[in-house]
Structure 1
Amino acid sequence: MHRHCRSSSLARTWSTLRARIRRLQHASPVTSPIDATAVNVPLRFIATKSHRAMSTATPAPELQEPHILRKSVIASANWVSLKKIEWVDPRGVARSWETAERTTRSGDCDAVAILALLKGGSKPTETVLTLQYRPPVDKLCVELPAGLIDKGETAEEAAVRELKEETGYHGNVVRTTGIQVNDPGLTNANMKLCILDVDRTLPDNRHPVATPEDGEFIDRRLVPVRELLAKLEAFQQEGLAVDARLMHLAIGLNLSGFLTDTADGSS
């Protein structure tokens, strides 16, 4: 009895729905004028408006410029100072950061690195690298010649001096970059890069003699520029550490050649 009543009820419901559908099919459709300006509205824009209309989330707070409140010295030594920075992040939250700073900066730039390009004669263009032991990493490190800028000295003057001291070569500055930061998550240390042309045919550059400072033990290596990346990778295989900036330069030169070959259709 219960099943029969349920079946009868379903039959009546279905019959009623069919009758309503037939009435709707025969009814005159209601049309409304089309807004021509709405036809070209991108779907993405419509979806975005709809999403915003339905969203009940609280709007994100407006971000502000992060800024430093104060610095305090934790410890200081001859060359480096350890400091605590109290600052405010873009959401207005007060935070702290520990940083190392040089105590020797006399101007707006700490140091200079030197990319020396040795030209002249029958050899391909070479650059000179320095190998020296670095206690912080406990390894022999492969780097570009570099050094601190003395008080009253320009980056260009420091570059010529440091190249002569560390490698014995004399060069002429052809380009100087702006200031770049070294490791901004750890320190405010910065530097410039000077590119120098070195004429190998000059008497002073035929048998260069380095004059390193006391405590500097520097090994000089000449590497063809086209072979720089391969040579640095070989140094790493030998267990030497390679300065990240030098490796990035080598990868950039290699990538530049790759892109040029690709553009010429020779890849």
Structure 2
Amino acid sequence: MELFEKTLKRTPIYQGSIIDLEVHDVALPDGKESKRELIFHNGAVAVCAITPESEVIFVKQFRKPAEKPLLEIPAGKLEKGEEREAAAKRELEEETGYIAENLELIAEMYGSPGYSNEKVTIYLAKDLKTGEMHLDEDEFINLVTYSLEELKQLLDDNEVEDAKTIIAIQHLLLNYNHFK
């Protein structure tokens, strides 16, 4: 069976500055019809950054959907037409004050593909230089660093609930023998 859903009708519900919402009438692979409620997002980037002191940089910020502060790697949305790597470097400096000359791709992921097209590209940054933080007017964060040795305990204690951050930590745990 071919796994494809043909869009028969698109009904825009909301157009915002970050997301657009639509309801699609679709033809299913078996010929029946159904509806899909969809969120369209320009995409995002995230950076797992390791300081010269071998500490991983995290941001802690209040997340309204979770109704609590979450511990995350620095991340942000793509601007229209922006290249992912350039966006990652920009977000890292804006949120942490660190500059990354080179980034290594860790993964690209869809966080919730059942209803959203948001793709997050996760990078690793080492050999950082000091720059200047430039937080958005409505952005309030605390910077937190953890040694590479502390990362497994963060996961074991369920201190990290953000998917992109869990992926980045697991990448480090699997690929860097000096702190296993």
- After the TM superposition, which residues 178-257 of structure 1 pair with which residues of structure 2 at under 5 Å, given as runs? 179-199=108-128, 205=130, 209-234=132-157, 236=159, 242-251=161-170, 253-254=172-173
Give the number of the structure with larger relative contact order, counting CA–CA contacts within 8 Å between residues 6 or more apart: 2
Deviation at 1:255, TM superposition (A): 5.7
The partner residue of 1:143 within 54, 61, 72 is: 72
Do the aligned partners of 2:23 and 2:38 also contact (CA within 8 Å) in 1?
Answer: yes
Q: Which has the larger radius of gyration?
A: 1
Deviation at 1:179, TM superposition (A): 4.1
The partner residue of 1:114 within 44, 47, 51 is: 47
Do the aligned partners of 1:68 and 1:85 also contact (CA within 8 Å) in 2?
Answer: no
Q: Which amino acid aligns with 2:138?
A: G
Do the aligned partners of 1:111 and 1:148 also contact (CA within 8 Å) in 2?
Answer: yes
TM-score, normalized by length of structure 1?
0.58
The partner residue of 1:92 within 18, 31, 39 is: 31
Deviation at 1:253, TM superposition (A): 4.3
Do the aligned partners of 2:152 and 2:173 also contact (CA within 8 Å) in 1?
Answer: yes
User: Which moves more between the two structures, 246-255 or 164-173?
Assistant: 246-255
Do the aligned partners of 2:61 and 2:70 also contact (CA within 8 Å) in 1?
Answer: yes
What's the counterpart of residue 16 of structure 2?
77
Do the aligned partners of 2:122 and 2:168 also contact (CA within 8 Å) in 1?
Answer: no
Query: 1:169/1:183 Cα in 2 relative to 1: closer, same or farther (>3 Å)?
Result: same
Separation (CA, whole Å) in 2 of partners of 1:249 and 1:140: 19
- After the TM superposition, which residues 149-168 of structure 1 pair with which residues of structure 2 at under 5 Å, given as runs? 149-168=78-97
Query: 1:74/1:153 Cα in 2 relative to 1: closer, same or farther (>3 Å)?
Result: closer
Separation (CA, whole Å) in 2 of partners of 1:233 and 1:216: 29
Deviation at 1:233, TM superposition (A): 4.5
Separation (CA, whole Å) in 2 of partners of 1:223 and 1:91: 50
Separation (CA, whole Å) in 2 of partners of 1:252 and 1:130: 18
> Partner of 1:213: helix, strand, or coil?
coil
Separation (CA, whole Å) in 1 of partners of 2:176 and 2:85: 28
User: Size of the alignment, in residue pairs?
Assistant: 177
Query: 1:255/1:99 Cα in 2 relative to 1: closer, same or farther (>3 Å)?
Result: same
Is 1:67 the counterpart of 2:5? The answer is yes
Q: Which amino acid aligns with 1:147?
A: G
Q: Which amino acid aligns with 1:222?
A: T
Q: Percent identity?
A: 25
The partner residue of 1:126 within 36, 55, 58 is: 55
Deviation at 1:135, TM superposition (A): 0.8
Mark the runs of 5 or more structure 1 residues left unpaired by the alignment: 1-62, 262-267
TM-score, normalized by length of structure 2?
0.83
Separation (CA, whole Å) in 2 of partners of 1:254 and 1:178: 15
Query: 1:115/1:89 Cα in 2 relative to 1: closer, same or farther (>3 Å)?
Result: same
Structure number having the greater helix percentage = 1
The two structures, once aligned, show a CA RMSD in angstroms of 2.6
The partner residue of 2:100 within 156, 166, 171 is: 171
